[in-house]
Structure 1
Amino acid sequence: MPPIRAYHGAFSFTTSQLQENSKRVFPDYDAKDLKTWPFVTLAVVERYKEYNGVPDLPTGVAYERAVAKRYEEMYTAADRVEIASMNGSFYERYPFNYIENDNPKETVGMTMAEYCKYMEKAVAANKDELRYSEHKPSRKFGEETDQTSCTNSEYAREVARLQGELFDKGSQLVGAQDYLREHEATERLRRKAVKDKDYELRREVQRADAAVRECMVTTEQNIKLLRRIRDLEMSQRQSNDLGEYCRRLEVEVRDLRKRAAGKRGRDRRAESESDMGINGNNKKRRA
């Protein structure tokens, strides 16, 4: 047998409702296939209200031992015999929790051999029920010949049914209250989120405005920087031009100095030659 899966969904004392809830939680759930039955704990049963053994536990699931114990403690041996004649034995209704003599199992579960044996009995019981239904009288099952009388067992079944309905209504009420609280909390969170979104939007607008202002300031600074760079480049070009002009002047000055020096040398030589010629003529005259 595969391991029993834990059930954490909504519990109901109405068998059809619990089986429908189990189907929503486990899509492969089949009330006729014990392999798909889920495991229900006392915490799940008492999620909305304490369970004291009444009403009857619905079939189609396996129960924690604490749940089944509270249920079985409500009935004497004679009550069990009467219940078994009407609804089936504990073993027939809760095979994961009881053995054939309706004694509780030490461990909740079922072996493959127990599963096969239970299914064989269930098939045989269905065949017997079909044969009986073909020959049974038209009156309802459990109905006394004197319809004006109502036995204690019928009262007990009716009380149990009404208690189950009351439990389900109370569970639905608590569930609706929980849903309302969750809805209110969600709505508060939604409104807070809207406010936070508006606040964040305003913050984004403020940040965008600040970024625009910063961009404008940076643009102005960049323009001033570009102007300064152009001024420096112009100054550098002027400095380069001035340097080049100064170098040309230095070359010209050197050339002028060289020419001036050469002219002075020629002039000195000319003067020297002129002086020598005058002195020679004077000597000739004296002679």
Structure 2
Amino acid sequence: MAMIRAYNGAFSFVTSQLQANLERVFPDYDRKDLKTWPFVSLTIVERCTEYYGIPDLPTGVAYERAVTQRYEDMYTATDRAEIALTNGSFYERYPFNYDENDNPKETIGMTMVEYHKYMEKAGAANKAELKHPEHRPSRNISKATNRTSCTNSECLLSTQEHLREYEATEGLRRSAMKDKGYELRREIQRADTAEKERMICMEQNTKLLHRIRDLEMKLRQANVLEEYCNTVEVENKDLRKAARKRGRDSLAESEPGMDIGKKNKRRK
């Protein structure tokens, strides 16, 4: 197939609204023909609000892998299986992103073989739905659609599909929001605990820093004292040497005088 064109218009999580937007941007857009489906990036999806996997992604476009990844991460395997039973498999709703086994594709796209195979299955399914529309809607949906003034079978099926999709995901969405709230509270508790531990660690680090500075100051004082002691010791040695030298000099000076006195006494 040809390269998928990118859609940069307004995004909506309501399938009918998104498809209406697509038709305004791309006049040749046909939700039943995969060749006309555009590519939607995470940036486009998150223009209004950050996407965490809820609500359900509308069909009729090819998504960036980051978008479907968040959708997958939001629901458990059981939830995804339940959604698939009600709304159709990931492959049926997002054929550019998933293969027939509902495994994510490494590359967003579709070969011509895949395209023809998908279109044949979709065509057969549409014929069956038009022939036996009573097999699709639930009791509540039937009541809702019976009140509509639309008599076109295709319009009725489209309305039923949107209502059915909403009912199927509403309970899961509420459950997911509760889970998100619980996870948020846990994250807050973990953040509070981490903050307390950080404050304790900071206090301990401050005390340790003061202790280190104390020891460094004492070390400097000890070094100064040692240097002073060494200086005093050197000075003492010098003084002792000088004292011994003066003693020797004094003794040498006094000895000649004593010899002269002795000689004079002998002459007398």
C-alpha displacement at 1:129, in angstroms?
2.5
Counterparts of 1:78 and 1:159, CA distance in 2? 11
**Structure 2 CA distance, aligned partners of 1:45 and 1:137?**
29
Deviations 1:51-96 (A, max 9, x none): 0000000111000000011001122222222111111111000000
Counterpart residue type for residue 102 of structure 2:
D
- Checking the alignment, whether the CA contact within 8 Å between 2:84 and 2:90 is kept in structure 1 is yes
Per-residue deviation, 1:130:
3.4
The CA RMSD measured in Å over matched residues stands at 2.8
Which range moves more in the overlay, 120-129 or 5-14? 120-129
Question: What residue number does 2:46 align with?
Answer: 46
Q: Is the 8 A contact 1:42 1:67 kept in 2?
A: yes
Map of 2:108 onto structure 1: 108
Amino acid at match of 1:69: Q
Q: Which runs of 5+ in 2 are unaligned?
A: 144-165, 177-268
Q: What does 1:216-231 align with in structure 2 at a 5 Å threshold?
A: none
| Corresponding residue of 1:267 | none
Partner in structure 1 of residue 17 of structure 2: 17
Structure whose CA Rg is larger: 1
Structure 1 residues 37 and 141: alpha-carbon distance in aligned structure 2, compared to 1, 3 A threshold: same
Aligned match of 2:65: 65
1:180-199 equivalences in 2 (<5 Å): none
Query: Which structure exhibits the higher relative contact order, with contacts defined as CA atoms closer than 8 Å and separated by 6 or more residues?
Result: 1
Distance change (3 Å), C-alpha of 1:49 and 1:128: same
- Matched residues, percent identical? 71
1:155-188 per-residue CA deviation (whole Å, 9 max, x = no partner) reads: 8525749x9xxxxxxxxxxxxxxxxxxxxxxxxx
- SS in structure 2 opposite 1:73? helix
Tell me which of 170, 186, 211 is aligned to 1:157. 170
Taking structure 2 as the reference length, the TM-score comes to 0.52
Distance 1:3 1:123 in 2: 23
Matched-pair contact (CA < 8 Å) for 2:56–2:169? no
Cα distance in 2 for partners of 1:88, 1:155 equals 11
8 Å CA contact 1:86, 1:142 repeated in 2: no
SS at 1:35 equivalent: helix
Secondary structure of 1:119's counterpart equals: helix
CA contact (8 A) 2:19 2:60 kept: yes
Q: Deviations over 1:3-59 (max 9, x none)?
A: 100111011101111111111111111111110101000000111211000000011
Which residues of structure 1 form unaligned runs of 5+? 144-152, 164-287
Q: 1:37 corresponds to which letter in structure 2?
A: W
Q: TM-score, normalized by length of structure 1?
A: 0.49
AA in 2 matched with 1:70:
R
Distance 1:134 1:4, change over 3 A: same
Q: Is the Cα contact below 8 Å between 1:53 and 1:71 reproduced in 2?
A: yes
The 1:122/1:49 distance shift into structure 2, 3 A limit, reads: same
* 1:36–1:138 distance in 2 versus 1, CA, 3 Å: closer
- Counterpart for residue 35 of structure 1: 35
Partners of 1:33 and 1:77 in 2: how far apart?
29
> Does the alignment pair 1:75 with 2:88?
no
Distance 2:23 2:113 in 1: 26
Q: Give the letter for the 1:74 counterpart.
A: M
Q: Cα distance, 1:131 vs. partner?
A: 4.2
1:7 matched residue in structure 2: 7
Which residue identity does 1:110 align to in structure 2? M
Counterpart contact for 2:129–2:136, Cα < 8 Å: no
Distance 2:141 2:126 in 1: 16
